[in-house]
Structure 1
Amino acid sequence: MKKESNLKELMHYAGRHRFLTYLSLLLSAASAVLALFPFVFLFRITQEVLAVAPDFPRAGHVVHNGWLAVGFALLSIVVYVCALMSSHLSAFRIAGNIRKALMDHIAKLPLGFIGEMGSGKIRRIVNDSSAATETYLAHQLPDMSAAVTTPICMVILLFLFDWRFGLVSLLPIVLGFAAMFKMVGPQMAKDIKEYQNALADMNNEAVEYVRGVPVVKTFGQTVHSFARFKGTIDNYYKYCIAYCKKCRGPMLMYTVFINSAFAFLIALALILTGSGPVAQPILLNFIFYVIFTPIIATAMSKVMYMSENGMIVADALGRIHSILDVEPLPDPHASKRPADNSVTLENVTFRYSGSAEDAIRNISIKVEAGETVALVGPSGGGKTTVAGLISRFWDVTGGAIQIGGVNVKDISKDVLMDTVAYVFQDSKLLKTSILENVRLSKPNATRQEVERVLHEAQCDDIIAKLPQSIDTVIGTKGVYLSGGEQQRIAIARVMLKNAPFLILDEATAFADPENEALVQKAFERLSRGKPVIMIAHRLTTIRNADRVFALRDGRVEESGTHDALLANDGLYARMWRDYQTSINWKVGVNHG
């Protein structure tokens, strides 16, 4: 299937404004033609002045031709402004529609995709790539139309007056583009893509670095403590320096040649004149071409950058498609509803996209309705991946996951989200009021319902210190919450949702002891009568779980109750001993 042109593809997002884009092309071309007429009138003025010299009062048409030159120049400007107005109206609508399409599609994609691509890279595609299309449509495309029209008309004018001077005026253009030949074509497209990749990687790592600034400041570290970020900066630096060095020679030759038309004209004038006096026709054409040829450099530079602009927007569209072409997880035609709240994992295997190894292998776990199950193990063991698969952040590579006897693939996204509530270890609050943050899980909830769940989530002390109670906007006028406080607000949000199945992923990871106690009380109320899967490194929080599954390297190494696993003296027992040692550790005490 033949790939659509950049313009044709962008027009899909234009709607009824597409005619404005085409109108801008026509107006820009018309403006370019009108801009050449003043030079014709300048030629007439010069011709008349030379003809009557030195009796200049006989030049009776100078003022008339001068006003015509000014009139056409002003008319060209007006037409060009109309072209830009048309192109901008269309470009803004297209860029806005692209952003809407991206955000609408991102909302349909599983959360696993967001984590794999990275929030920084997604943000850059949504903002910067759509902005590149806006710049292309609003400025570069109309200029392209003018850049193509101007040389055609100029060539006609060059040969209309004196073909010899016209031919010499074109020589520096030919030499200039010959010098630039190495910088155009497939290699330039590859270079632009590498540049955008280096920039995207640096941007993505920058976002992660900024998020870690508090840690950097606390421990007095520099950017070097974030090796990946430093690596992307170095990679971007090396690429830019290498690319500049590669382009230095051709660009220097192009600049010299494209601006050397004046020298070529002088040489031709001297050849035509010989050792005799300068003939009036030669002087007239020489003066005209000296005035006219500088426009050639400007026009040809725009033509030269046409291919680069096209490659930039093509790269932007490619990055936009890197999101739009990702297929959402298939939704069943007829959604089934779970018979109960039990969860079963049968020989589940999963591998991340692009990975050479499975993240989890042949895991089988059954959580009965009302049962609390804990997942523990070393970092990277697959605990969060298992929880994400239950919530269908991804689809399993092998095996099956069932909720209430129904495969999660046969449950619609809306039903699944109503069935499973997920409390992340780093729950996010939006920059809006406490009321609206909690209402995210149930937009039609009343104020009384929100206040009730905030009370049940042990948030009374938080609300009491806020200047406008639950109407206080987070993140404004110095109103900020600690990690533990944010977690309690997030728990209130989950309580309002009241889903029948609960997943807690390191939900107390950022809480201090006081906040942890309050969070635990909130969890007890939240999980009452519901099946729960808990992921925890603080093993004291899961000692009362009905069953504990110890995972390592993507496999279940052992399972049982807390006491049974301690007696087994396996992975869990070793983790428990290490944890007990860590919580008893004190600063300044020799632990041997």
Structure 2
Amino acid sequence: MKGKKKSDVAVLLDYAGSRKGLTFLGLTFSAVSMLLSMVPYICIWLAARDLIAVAPDWTQAHGITRYGWMAFVFAFAGIALYFAGLMCTHLAAFRTASNIRKKGIAHVMKAPLGYFDANASGLIRGRLDAAAADTETLLAHNLADIVGTIVLFISMVILMFLFDWRMGLACLLAAVISIISMASMMGGKNASFMAQYQAALDRMNKSGTEYVRGIPVVKIFQQTVYSFKAFQASIEEYSYFAEHYNSHVCSKPQSVNLTFTEGAFVFLVPVALFLAPEALADGSFAGFITDFVFYAVFSAIISTALARIMFASSGIMLASAALGRINKVMESPTLKNPANPMEPHGSKVEFMDVSFTYDGATTPALSHVSFTAESGQTIALVGPSGGGKTTAASLIPRFWDVSSGSVNVGGVDVRQIDPHVLMDHVAFVFQNNRLFKASILENVRAARPGASREQVKNALMAAQCQDILDKLPEGMDTLIGTEGTYLSGGEQQRIALARAILKDAPIIVLDEATAFADPENEVLIQKAFATLTKGRTVIMIAHRLSTVVGADQIIVLDRGCIAEQGSHKELVAANGLYARMWADYNKAVRWKISSEKEDE
């Protein structure tokens, strides 16, 4: 039998840890404070009763001062207790949000690196950081208001029927109309609105992050914001949800709700007029007036109580949607650590009948791919765009796990190697490496935090970075991204190569490492490659075929399958796909812009 599913509030409270008890303490304080807050209204009624009883000789009402002080003391005690309750719920709420962020980050740290390619950083941040903040309102304020209001409402209902059930029923009629109005706004088909609203907000955050990153392209090509159709569409979608909910869903029910809750007294007057003749006839008019004053005073509480319920209910909807976004992060795939990890021996890389399909895709990115890179060999992966080159390379350091088959490193399936050990065995250089906003020293040292300055400097020299250090005001200690200190794409690539050299891993994965380099930088990068790849197993992805001519073996991938494999000479002689790519590459290299005169 399946266990009962926890409510959203229970799930959130589990994140509070040791401060979960503070939430319940705060809720208790809030409930008691609501009871205390009713006493001043009772005191007002008692004062009115005494005045009516001695009218018109008001001096005979001796308890007025006592009731006034009672009202003050209980009002102050109610406020103090309410703030004490909020202090408790806030402490628990802050711990909950903090734990959500910590556990979320800890979970994401276990996710395969490919997860971050499929999920933009803005989306992950919105799902985790912003969603955690959205839970604070519910736990810090809304829960206390809900519990306090429920206690207040029950007590009020009891009091309403204590003296005259007819006038009590008249006062509660406003509450019934209000509840129906709120149900029409938040129930039924509108119950799922908040999830749609938050999904639209997520998409807008993601598109906004991508747009900001693309601003340089916009400026270069003189485009406007309207060229970013995805960003514009996400803004319009979000605007639609916000406007539609306010104008079409909430406008009429909220108008009805406010009209009757703020005017609850209107229901009381007709009933009082109906009952007045009877009270006059039996001589109980003074008691009738006293009861009327009681209900007139307490009818004012109805609007306050119902307003709290409405805002608290919206907080529950918001927190529920936030929890859904948090769960998307918490439920993301993680790399499974082997129960009995094995140590790789050597740097041999083997693909054994490997197939892989991305989540949500119908066509495999790789299908039954098998090849071997012996220790010290250089294997080049080439082929048309979308052929599966980057996918194949990303399976070696377990950016993703294979759907079938296996990828072996040092004779061991990568899934049976401890992830930390595997990462120590593999270094990779991407085509779009990013540097941290830190010094050159710290950027390179990220590969091996315990490395000395001398070791970092040697790695920089091996990566041909001397000219970069010479032009920087503080050499290795210069902070990147501050005071106008920026590096070109080729220079960043050489820093990234220094990082890989310092790591000193036996297996190197190069993904289009010269893609953004100018001719001068490319020469220096090729020299750095000589140091980086010496004596190591290298898996190289390249579109510039001139960089793979000397590879021990070239694997040609097309539509996820191996179309050809062999040395450069063998593949050119085979006159297949690689030969055509080689011919096209040479045409592109020889191509130049000719003047009209030369054409003649």
TM-score by length of 2: 0.92
> What is the total number of aligned residue pairs between the two structures?
592
RMSD: 2.5
User: Residue 251 of structure 2 corresponds to which residue in structure 1?
Assistant: 248
Q: For 1:88-144, what per-residue CA distance to the aligned partner results, in whole angstroms no more than 9, with x for missing partners?
A: 111111211111111111111111222223322211122012112222211111112
Aligned to 2:337, the other structure's residue is in SS state coil
Write the letter of the residue equivalent to 2:474.
Answer: Q
Give structure 2 stretches of 5+ with no counterpart: none
Instruction: Indicate which of 527, 538, 550 corresponds to 1:532.
Output: 538
Residues 177-196 of structure 1: pairs in structure 2 closer than 5 A: 177-185=179-187, 187-196=189-198
Q: Confirm or deny that 1:445 pairs with 2:445.
A: no
CA distance in 2 between counterparts of 1:467 and 1:125 reads 40
How far the C-alpha of 1:275 sits from its partner, in A, is 12
Q: Confirm or deny that 1:157 pairs with 2:163.
A: no
User: Residue 27 of structure 1 corresponds to which residue in structure 2?
Assistant: 29
Write the letter of the residue equivalent to 2:195.
Answer: K
CA distance in 1 between counterparts of 2:269 and 2:590 reads 91
User: Residue 387 of structure 2 corresponds to which residue in structure 1?
Assistant: 381
Instruction: Indicate which of 139, 144, 147 corresponds to 1:145.
Output: 147
254-263 vs 27-36, which moves further: 254-263
559-568 vs 61-70, which moves further: 559-568
Change (3 A) 1:276 1:96: closer
User: Residue 571 of structure 1 corresponds to which residue in structure 2?
Assistant: 577
Q: For 1:389-444, what per-residue CA distance to the aligned partner results, in whole angstroms no more than 9, with x for missing partners?
A: 11111111122211222221222211211111111222222223322222222121
CA distance in 2 between counterparts of 1:241 and 1:311 reads 18
User: Residue 122 of structure 1 corresponds to which residue in structure 2?
Assistant: 124
Instruction: Indicate which of 369, 372, 375 corresponds to 1:369.
Output: 375
Instruction: Indicate which of 420, 424, 438 corresponds to 2:426.
Output: 420
CA distance in 2 between counterparts of 1:519 and 1:52 reads 101
Aligned to 1:349, the other structure's residue is in SS state strand
Residues 287-306 of structure 1: pairs in structure 2 closer than 5 A: 287-306=293-312
Write the letter of the residue equivalent to 2:26.
Answer: S
Whether contact under 8 Å (2:195, 2:321) holds in the other structure is yes
Q: For 1:25-52, what per-residue CA distance to the aligned partner results, in whole angstroms no more than 9, with x for missing partners?
A: 1111111111111111111222233344
CA distance in 2 between counterparts of 1:459 and 1:332 reads 40
Change (3 A) 1:364 1:25: same
Whether contact under 8 Å (2:128, 2:325) holds in the other structure is no
How far the C-alpha of 1:24 sits from its partner, in A, is 0.5
Write the letter of the residue equivalent to 1:253.
Answer: V
User: Residue 500 of structure 2 corresponds to which residue in structure 1?
Assistant: 494
Residues 383-398 of structure 1: pairs in structure 2 closer than 5 A: 383-398=389-404
CA distance in 2 between counterparts of 1:115 and 1:501 reads 22
Write the letter of the residue equivalent to 1:535.
Answer: I
User: Residue 324 of structure 2 corresponds to which residue in structure 1?
Assistant: 318
Give structure 1 stretches of 5+ with no counterpart: none
After the TM superposition, which parts of structure 1 deviate over 6 Å for at least 4 consecutive aligned residues?
275-278
Change (3 A) 1:89 1:360: same
How far the C-alpha of 1:53 sits from its partner, in A, is 4.0
Write the letter of the residue equivalent to 2:15.
Answer: Y
Change (3 A) 1:545 1:162: same
Aligned to 1:270, the other structure's residue is in SS state helix
How far the C-alpha of 1:299 sits from its partner, in A, is 1.0
101-110 vs 515-524, which moves further: 515-524
Aligned to 1:347, the other structure's residue is in SS state strand
User: Residue 462 of structure 1 corresponds to which residue in structure 2?
Assistant: 468
User: Residue 238 of structure 1 corresponds to which residue in structure 2?
Assistant: 240
CA distance in 2 between counterparts of 1:438 and 1:546 reads 29
CA distance in 2 between counterparts of 1:309 and 1:346 reads 53
Whether contact under 8 Å (2:279, 2:288) holds in the other structure is no
How far the C-alpha of 1:505 sits from its partner, in A, is 0.8
Change (3 A) 1:281 1:530: same
How far the C-alpha of 1:276 sits from its partner, in A, is 11
CA distance in 2 between counterparts of 1:147 and 1:587 reads 79
User: Residue 223 of structure 2 corresponds to which residue in structure 1?
Assistant: 221
Q: Confirm or deny that 1:555 pairs with 2:561.
A: yes
How far the C-alpha of 1:274 sits from its partner, in A, is 5.5
CA distance in 2 between counterparts of 1:364 and 1:325 reads 32
Write the letter of the residue equivalent to 2:309.
Answer: V
Aligned to 2:192, the other structure's residue is in SS state helix
Instruction: Indicate which of 518, 521, 529 corresponds to 1:515.
Output: 521
User: Residue 135 of structure 2 corresponds to which residue in structure 1?
Assistant: 133
Change (3 A) 1:85 1:275: closer
CA distance in 1 between counterparts of 2:580 and 2:298 reads 85
Write the letter of the residue equivalent to 2:429.
Answer: V
158-167 vs 106-115, which moves further: 158-167
17-26 vs 258-267, which moves further: 258-267
How far the C-alpha of 1:586 sits from its partner, in A, is 5.1
User: Residue 16 of structure 1 corresponds to which residue in structure 2?
Assistant: 18
CA distance in 1 between counterparts of 2:286 and 2:523 reads 99
CA distance in 2 between counterparts of 1:215 and 1:585 reads 26
How far the C-alpha of 1:380 sits from its partner, in A, is 1.4
CA distance in 2 between counterparts of 1:578 and 1:135 reads 61
